[in-house]
């Protein structure tokens, strides 16, 4: 298997401003390609913006959302991929011919759409429908999956995508720095972002604590380690509507080690080379081989009615 060079990005998106957001995606994709990257991943709803959608009506959501792959933003993303000779993953709101709304994340190259995934656990807007399937697809011989934000907190989703063959799972988020029932959570004052040049230390302390990166480190490396996969985490930095996000997009290997991470307080990408042989050397690979599903398949598959209210309570 040929090594794959992957980039993950963070940037401050503008709500509703698809043209601006696509221009940043274009710029960072070009720079990543120039550094030899085969692939670059952006955050959840990186094309449209995210948090502002919590206040939109169904009519406004339908106006914002686009069909996939025939929508203008998808066509533009394919054009960017073609021009920059790189595979791109990015997110937007999707609408179907029946005016159903989904949170979508797509993978494109210069030839067109490679894959589309719909978030299984959407909660930013009540008119969004949940997706109902996992997606596994190829990028240069590597099996890849996608799970959006909260989907990754339900650990069965990560295991299922891995068991379907994924070597890499792209995990686009808009997360951290919001209230939650977990200890230490909460908003970060937007004034710290405004003063980031004169006082980066105060902002970094908030970003790296339990409101931000400290919480992420409690679980994200474990998803990679337990499943023996590469994790490509992408997250915005700066203001997303009225909420501040702390970025720290990163790439984690099958041993749970961080290979590269965005640490600047502005738009940035990092890239690194994925080595396939690491997967079979990892503990997670051995754990999958040692499974005894006859012991627990009926337990895990037991009938269960999902409580969407639980998702709304934990907005990360």
What's the pLDDT tens digit per position in 186-203? 999 999 999 999 999 999
245-291 tens-digit pLDDT:
999 999 999 999 999 999 999 999 999 999 999 999 999 999 999 99
C-alpha–C-alpha distance, residues 164 and 53, integer Å: 32
CB 193 within 8 A of CB 212: no
- For residue 86, what pLDDT is reported? 98
Average pLDDT of the residues in 84-100:
98
Give Cα separations from 104 to 67, 159, 204, 263 (angstroms): 10, 21, 31, 27
Cis status, amide bond into 69, omega within 30 of 0: yes
Q: Is the pLDDT of residue 83 over 80?
A: yes
Model confidence at 306, pLDDT cuts 50, 70, 90, reads: confident
User: What predicted TM-score, i.e. pTM, was given to this entire model?
Assistant: 0.96
Domains annotated for the chain, with CATH where assigned, are 4-313 (3.60.110.10)
- The pairing of beta strand 258-261 with beta strand 250-252: antiparallel
Buried b (16+ CB within 10 A) or exposed e, 266-296: ebbbbbbebeeebbeebebbeebeeeeeeee
204-229 tens-digit pLDDT:
999 999 999 999 999 999 999 999 99
- The token pair at 188 is 């970060």
Residue-by-residue DSSP string for 6-28: EEEEE----TT-HHHHHHHHHHH
Model confidence at 315, pLDDT cuts 50, 70, 90, reads: very low
Give Cα separations from 157 to 121, 135, 242, 293 (angstroms): 11, 11, 30, 16
């Amino acid at each position: 298997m040929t090594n794959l060079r992957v980039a993950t990005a963070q940037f401050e998106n503008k709500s509703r401003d698809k043209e601006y957001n696509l221009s940043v995606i274009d710029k960072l994709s070009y720079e990543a390609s120039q550094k030899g990257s085969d692939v670059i991943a952006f955050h959840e709803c990186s094309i449209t913006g995210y948090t502002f959608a919590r206040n939109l009506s169904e009519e406004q959501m339908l106006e914002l959302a686009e069909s996939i792959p025939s929508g203008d933003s998808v066509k533009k993303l394919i054009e960017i991929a073609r021009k920059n000779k790189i595979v791109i993953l990015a997110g937007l709101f999707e609408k179907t011919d029946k005016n159903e709304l989904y949170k979508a994340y797509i993978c494109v190259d210069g030839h067109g759409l490679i894959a589309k995934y719909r978030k299984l656990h959407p909660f930013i807007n009540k008119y969004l429908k949940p997706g109902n399937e996992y997606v596994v697809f190829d990028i240069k011989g590597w099996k890849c999956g996608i799970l959006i934000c909260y989907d990754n907190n339900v650990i069965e989703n990560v295991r299922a995508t891995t068991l379907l063959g994924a070597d890499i799972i792209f995990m686009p988020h808009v997360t951290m720095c919001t209230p939650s029932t977990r200890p230490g959570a909460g908003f970060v004052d937007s004034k710290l972002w405004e003063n980031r040049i004169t006082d980066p230390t105060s902002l970094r302390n908030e970003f790296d604590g339990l409101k931000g990166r400290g919480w992420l480190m409690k679980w994200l490396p474990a998803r990679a380690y337990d499943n023996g996969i590469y994790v490509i985490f992408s997250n915005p930095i700066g203001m997303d509507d009225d909420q501040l996000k702390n970025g720290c997009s990163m790439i984690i290997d099958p041993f749970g080690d961080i290979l590269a991470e965005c640490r600047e307080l502005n738009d940035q990408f990092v890239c690194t080379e994925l080595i396939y042989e690491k997967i079979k050397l990892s503990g997670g690979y051995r754990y999958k081989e040692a499974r005894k599903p006859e012991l627990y398949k009926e337990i895990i598959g037991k009938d269960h009615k999902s409580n969407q209210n639980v998702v709304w309570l934990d907005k990360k």
